[in-house]
Structure formats: C-alpha cells, structure tokens
C-alpha cells in the first residue's frame, strides 16, 4: 500500500467511523438494550447497529482484506487472517461508559499488516472528536466541525509523568505499576481514548494490566505509532497481532 493510498484510505475510514457514530447516538440518548457477550461483558443494540454499518463498507473498499469485527466474532464468524493483513473493528469500545452515559466510548477501526497496526481511526461520537493515523504518514485529530490538525507525542519528563489508565478496569496490578512510577498526574478515561491522549501529547504513559482484545487496541495503537509513540508488552517486547483468539496480554503505551 503506497503512502498516497494510505492517506486516501484513512480519510475514507474517518468518514466511516463518523457514520457509525451517528448510528450509535440515538441509542445513547435513549435507554440502551443490554445483553451479554460470550465473556459476560455487556453488549447493546448500538454495538450491532454500528458494526452493520462498518463491515460492508470495509468489504467494499478492500475486498481482498478480511474483516475481524467484535460482534461477528462473538457470533462465530471468524475470517481467515493467515494472509497477514486484516481489519480489526470494535464498533463500540467502552460499552460500560456507554451504558452509564459517561461519553468515554469510541468507534475503533484499525488495519493490521504483518503483525502490526498500520492505520487506524478512533472516534468519540458524543463530542464529535476523531483521531486518525497511518504509520509513515503521521497522525491528526479532527473536531466535529471538520477542523483538522496534526498531532504528535510529547517528550516526557521522566521525573514527572502524566499517566492515563482505565476508568472501568482498575486492579491491584495496575495500581502497583502506577505507584512504581514518578507520577505528577493520574487521569482515568474509558475506551481507546487513552491511546489518543498519549498520541496528542496530553499524557505520557498508558499501562494496561486487564484483559483486552485486538479490536480494542489496533486502531488506537496505529494512531499512537503514527504520532511517534510506542506500545510494548510489560517485558519490553513488540506488541503483535493475530494472536490465538485475538486476545491481548498486558501492555504499556508510551509517548516520547
């Protein structure tokens, strides 16, 4: 995929994420219908409606690239990703935030190639913000009026870090790790928005010691990489995709 192709595709995926966000909002403004996924976590009608918007468009735009989408996987629809390139879609990341009407939920669309994310879009429907990035092309954010500006990670002060962590998935391992850092400020946010805060230079570190799936992280990971950040395991190894069951281990996202 050429740099020009990536830029054009990223623009189209940004539009698609906004289309999905518009589908989600009426559910958010009413009482969401809540059920349970295979792992016991909540799912709403909005998840399914947004995914029904996203998947056909991706299949039309890139018919040779399989789409791994959260709700489809939950229904047993798992495509062959052995070719090394595939989409990862979380139509509504942060369902607990959505149900509790806290606004920190996102639409995540990421493209993986040879084990790593190369392109991604994260959109927060409530405030209209959108973050996008293609590795090698840089990253940008766009407000609800379409105003766009480039973003990049900041150089961290190693003695005074701003840490952003999960709002709904705190645990003793996470608290212990944060306590080991020279923290100036600790921020709690939901969904993939945490990646975007690091990517735009608002936070320095995002650690995760709870369970996530690849569709939770691919889009935000791509934005972070495009903005100059990094994501590794706690052991400092590369954070790779196409894992068994698409299940992630612990990770640390960092800015500059």
142-178 residue pLDDT tens: 999 999 999 999 999 999 999 998 766 678 888 899 9
What is the spatial distance between Cα 110 and Cα 16, in angstroms, rounded to a whole number?
12
Residue where the block lists tokens 């052991």? 235
Is 80 annotated in a binding site? The answer is no
Smallest Cα–Cα separation from 68: which of 54, 82, 86, 51?
86
Is 128 annotated in a binding site? The answer is no
127-145 residue pLDDT tens: 999 999 999 999 999 999 9
Domain at 27, CATH number: 3.30.540.10
92-102 residue pLDDT tens: 999 888 888 88
Note whether 125 and 218 are same-domain residues.
no
Partners of 99 in the beta sheet? none
What is the spatial distance between Cα 256 and Cα 137, in angstroms, rounded to a whole number?
17
Note whether 33 and 61 are same-domain residues.
yes
Is 217 annotated in a binding site? The answer is no
What is the spatial distance between Cα 195 and Cα 181, in angstroms, rounded to a whole number?
19
Note whether 128 and 55 are same-domain residues.
yes
Residue 168: the pLDDT is 63
What is the domain count for the chain?
Answer: 2
In a domain, 29, yes or no: yes
| The domain boundary residue, chosen from 107, 131, 151 | 151
In a domain, 156, yes or no: no
Instruction: Tell me how many degrees the CA angle 113-123-188 measures, rounded to the nearest 5.
Output: 100
Is 11 annotated in a binding site? The answer is no
Note whether 126 and 184 are same-domain residues.
no
Note whether 8 and 76 are same-domain residues.
yes
Predicted structure pTM score: 0.94
User: What is the band of 237 on the pLDDT scale with cuts at 50, 70, 90?
Assistant: very high
N-terminal to C-terminal alpha carbon distance within the chain: 27
Furthest-apart CA atoms within the chain: distance in Å: 49
Note whether 184 and 219 are same-domain residues.
yes
Domain that holds residue 124: 3-151
175-234 residue pLDDT tens: 899 999 999 999 989 889 999 999 999 999 999 998 899 999 999 999 999 999 999 999
- E-strand spans in 114-224? 116-124, 129-134, 138-142, 148-151, 161-166, 183-189, 205-208, 212-213
Is 235 annotated in a binding site? The answer is no
Note whether 141 and 14 are same-domain residues.
yes
pLDDT of 2 over the 60 cut: no
Is 256 annotated in a binding site? The answer is no
Note whether 147 and 167 are same-domain residues.
no
Domain at 200, CATH number: 3.40.190.80
Smallest Cα–Cα separation from 140: which of 123, 128, 152, 156?
152
What is the spatial distance between Cα 152 and Cα 138, in angstroms, rounded to a whole number?
8
User: What is the band of 29 on the pLDDT scale with cuts at 50, 70, 90?
Assistant: confident
Note whether 15 and 129 are same-domain residues.
yes
Is 95 annotated in a binding site? The answer is yes
Note whether 130 and 165 are same-domain residues.
no
């Amino acid at each position: 995929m050429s740099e020009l192709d990536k830029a054009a595709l990223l623009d189209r995926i940004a539009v698609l994420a906004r289309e999905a966000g518009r589908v989600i909002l009426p559910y958010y403004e009413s009482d969401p219908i809540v059920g349970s996924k295979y792992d016991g976590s909540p799912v709403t009608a909005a998840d399914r409606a947004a995914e029904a918007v996203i998947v056909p468009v991706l299949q039309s735009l890139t018919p040779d690239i399989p789409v791994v989408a959260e709700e489809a996987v939950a229904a047993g629809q798992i495509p062959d990703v052995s070719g090394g390139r595939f989409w990862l879609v979380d139509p509504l990341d942060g369902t607990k935030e959505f149900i509790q009407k806290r606004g920190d939920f996102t639409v995540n669309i990421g493209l993986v190639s040879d084990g790593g994310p190369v392109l991604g879009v994260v959109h927060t429907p409530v405030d209209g913000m959108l973050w996008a990035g293609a590795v090698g092309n840089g990253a940008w954010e766009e407000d609800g009026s379409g105003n766009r500006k480039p973003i990049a990670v900041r150089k961290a002060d190693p003695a005074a870090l701003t840490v952003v962590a999960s709002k709904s998935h705190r645990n003793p391992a996470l608290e212990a790790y944060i306590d080991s850092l020279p923290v100036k400020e600790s921020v709690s946010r939901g969904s993939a928005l945490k990646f975007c805060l690091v990517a735009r230079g608002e936070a320095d570190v995002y650690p995760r010691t709870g369970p996530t799936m690849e569709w939770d992280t691919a889009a935000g990971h791509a934005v972070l990489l495009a903005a100059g950040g990094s994501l590794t395991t706690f052991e400092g190894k590369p954070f790779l995709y196409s894992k068994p069951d698409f299940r992630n281990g612990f990770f640390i996202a960092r800015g500059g």
